[in-house]
Structure 1
Amino acid sequence: MNPLVAPEAGVHTGAGTALSVNLNKVALLRNTRHLGIPSVTRAADIVLKAGAQGITVHPRPDERHIRGSDVHELAELLKAWPAVEYNIEGNPLHNLMDFIRAVRPHQATFVPDTVGQFTSDHGWNLPADAPVLKPLIDECHALGVRVSLFMDPLPEAMAHAAALGADRVELYTESWAAAWGTPRQDEVGARFATAGQAALAAGLGLNAGHDLSRDNLADFLQLVPGVLEVSIGHALIADALELGYDATVRAYLACIRQVQPRA
């Protein structure tokens, strides 16, 4: 852990798992016209008032959804929400570090996307990627920014992530979502449980994200105790099209409380 970064800086103070809402799909819809709607900052304001504890964005180099201006406008908005975490995801070898240097969010999540990649689909390869990641992790720490590494559920990789100085790992949960409700659910779930235990044993904080939904979230948190934060975008925004932002956020928080009731 980085001693210069408070482990819970910018994180809700309640017990259990924090919900960080990824706003990429709001921006994707907005970008289909030139009207500025739906508003990314308006969406952030509503989900935070509904109880979300964090905002996540993943600005890709082609700006097909989140734009650079969104990153800065959200940073300005979040000044009024000092207990809310701002998490910026992306590839630190592309455009991510420019945003980290300018905005200094609470957390930078390093994701090994290629330029133009459809969506995130794999984690870092450790220890092979360590030489390029180490100086960037160190730079984030010097800026007071926590670092989370997007990782496949590989128990043996967690000690390497800790050795690099990462503060957390975000378990890439697409395979869990694909297996949920099928005969492979228990097998895949056991893999995530083992990886989560390995991360905690290495001294890492534990995040999770990608294709988590109202259907599979509670089961995942039951299998993988100790998750500090889930970052959910696609399913949550899809639900919000039918239920509205407020009701949707409350439904996801209820999924979390089902496993981790508040004191």
Structure 2
Amino acid sequence: MNAATPIPVPTPEAVPLVQPVVRRGKGYSARFALGRRALGPLAIVAIWAMATTAGWVDPSILPSPPALAEGFRQLWADQNLLGQLGVSLGRALAGGAAGIVVGLALGIAAGLSRLGEELFDAALQMLRTIPFLALVPLFIVWFGIGETPKLLLIALATLFPMYLNAYAGVRNVDRKVIEAMRSFGLSGPRLVREVVLPLALPQIFTGLRIALGVSVLVLIAAEQINASAGLGYLLNAAQLYQQVDVILICIAIYAVLGLSADLIVRTLERLFMPWRAHLAVR
């Protein structure tokens, strides 16, 4: 071989800095995600069944899962559980929707305008520190013991988290993005609709998730106001007659309502913000 001829040196194949992620089908991932979420509740139920079956827990304090299932069947057949659930859901949805809409409108107004902030923020920050249970006797005096105080309590409770998150979402929009869009001719309501609100959506959905959860929490307190129907009515009657199984069933239903509200918001997030699914850490 000629001395002037360069000797070829084998080079390693180029290795990408970021290895591609092997993505499985959406159905496959969804099934495994659902299975992982179910592990915790299933473990709790298993420990509960084992403790009651072995006699470690007095059945009068904590009934076994079969006893609760029998209690649920009796409630469904004798107490019209589905109708009672519908009454409670109606209250939570009506009061929650009113509070969410008002809180969203006030939050956007205060976030977009200094005048709106000066008009609404101080009063709302003061009102949100008042315990909701302290308002129950006042609302009874003002509005009686009908549906009005129940709906107002739920609306007031859901208003504040929605307001705070909508306000923070609008205020945290990058001003450089707004100025850039203005340079392209966007202004006024169109700028708000096409730039500000989409960028504030993550924070707004956070407020919606908190507000829906709070609506279920306050529903429990609201239905203590002389309720003649609903889950609160069943809960009060069970407390009066010391029916532990009915109390636990009502608590479980409240928990399912809260979980369902969270799943609804997650679905809306995937619908309105599909790009966030790609940011999830796997």
Q: TM-score with structure 1 length normalisation? A: 0.22
Compare the two structures and name the one with the higher helix fraction.
2
Give the alignment's TM-score, normalised by structure 2. 0.21
